[in-house]
């Protein structure tokens, strides 16, 4: 599958995110200290947009109720860190990972591939 240009490097300062739509799919672009990342744009908790979420050391914090995701793998780190899932089985359906997408930079353009990586 081809890469699609979704923004320019200068559009997203380091430490910030931007929600874009690619082929009707919301995608969150993240400019972390070591490069750009792309994850699906809606939180697995209540399907709300992740735009405005803070990123710190590779972890994205959802601005709504603070689920946390590894931006490299999409793993949902919270509430797994907080609640014993065996004791709260109803949480399982909400503790889903985010899809992540391959990112490359070409001539200062941020390009993503909509193939699911995980
Ligand atoms: S919508 Fe993200 S944690 Fe609730």
End-to-end C-alpha distance for the chain, whole angstroms = 16
Each residue's pLDDT tens digit, 47-104? 999 999 999 999 999 999 889 999 999 999 876 666 666 666 666 667 789 999 999 9
pLDDT digits (tens, 9 = 90+) for 13-31: 999 999 999 989 999 999 9
Ligand 1 nearest-atom number relative to CA 47: 1
Instruction: Give φ, ψ of 3 to 5 degrees.
Output: -85, 150
The CATH number of domain 4-112, selected from 2.102.10.10, 2.60.40.10, 3.30.499.10, 3.80.10.10: 2.102.10.10
Q: Is 82 in the pocket of ligand 1 (CB under 6 A)?
A: no
| Token digits of residue 91 | 């949480």
pLDDT of residue 13: 95
Domain extents in the chain? 4-112
Ligand 1, atom 4: closest residue by C-alpha: 65
Q: Distance between CA atoms of 61 and 53, rounded to whole angstroms?
A: 5
Atom index in ligand 1 nearest the CA of residue 48 equals: 1
């Amino acid at each position: 599958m081809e890469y699609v240009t979704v923004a320019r490097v200068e559009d997203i300062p380091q430490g910030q995110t931007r929600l874009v739509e690619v082929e009707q799919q919301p995608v969150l672009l993240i400019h972390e200290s070591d490069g750009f990342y792309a994850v699906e744009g809606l939180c697995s908790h209540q399907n709300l947009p992740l735009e405005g979420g803070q990123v710190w050391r590779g972890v994205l914090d959802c601005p709504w109720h603070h689920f946390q995701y590894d931006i490299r793998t999409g793993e949902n780190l919270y509430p797994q860190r907080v609640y014993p899932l065996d004791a709260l089985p109803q949480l399982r359906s909400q503790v889903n990972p985010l899809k992540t997408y391959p990112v490359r930079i070409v001539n200062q353009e941020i390009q993503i591939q909509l193939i699911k990586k995980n």
